[in-house]
Amino acid sequence: MEQWLSYAIMAMLMGGVAMVFAKMGMGSANEHVALVIRTSVLLAMVVANAWYAGALGGVSAVDNKTMLWLVLAGLCTAVYWILYFKAIKTANISVVATIDRAGIVVTVLLSYFILKEPLTPRLLLGMGTILAGTLILIWK
């Protein structure tokens, strides 16, 4: 198995577990407090990982254009998590997480139009399946 695929599968597994833990951890906490706690742990782990890898010194070498894209990605991630935690506080995580995965369709389309990545028949079939599943869940 290629290394990137191993990382992607492990990330998928951790992402799924993390969402269930987040829902379980909300209990008496409101979604804002839960998100602050989760994100604080995330920040600490990411900084520790970069420090361990010896990469923290590379921050000063990041050019302005790259920094802008990373800041915009961070802002989008923040809005995403705020909305996601609001959704899972009051709804079934299984449904919210499945609908959330339709974001893959947005990612694939943007990667095609902006990054010029290819759209293969297999990719289109996968996107169609994800979109169909999402529509089934939200259709009343």
| Tokens describing residue 59 | 């921050």
Question: Long-range contacts of range 12-17, CB-CB < 8 Å, 24 or more positions apart?
Answer: 16/97
pLDDT of residue 122: 96
Residues 86-118 pLDDT 10s? 999 999 998 899 899 899 999 999 999 999 999
What torsion, rounded to 10 degrees, do the Cα atoms 140, 105, 1, 47 define? -100
Q: CB-based contacts of 84: which residues, under 8 Å, 6+ apart?
A: 96, 100
Residue 137: predicted pLDDT: 84
- The band of 18, judged by pLDDT with boundaries at 50, 70 and 90, is very high
Give the C-alpha separation, 117 to 127, whole Å.
15
Query: The pTM is what?
Result: 0.85
- Of the pLDDT bands very low, low, confident and very high (cuts 50, 70, 90), residue 27 is confident
Every domain of the chain and the residues it spans: 3-89, 101-140
1 — pLDDT class (breaks 50, 70, 90): confident
At residue 140, does pLDDT exceed 80? no
Average the pLDDT over 119-131 and give the result.
Answer: 95
Rounded Cα gap, residues 120 and 127, in angstroms: 11
Burial class of 22 by CB neighbour count within 10 A (0 to 12, 13 to 18, 19+): buried
Closest by CA to 76, choosing from 54, 107, 112, is 107
pLDDT digits (tens, 9 = 90+) for 35-90: 999 999 999 999 999 999 999 989 889 999 999 999 999 999 999 999 999 999 99
Alpha-carbon distance of 32 to 73, in angstroms, equals 20
Query: CB atoms < 10 A from the CB of 96, how many?
Result: 20
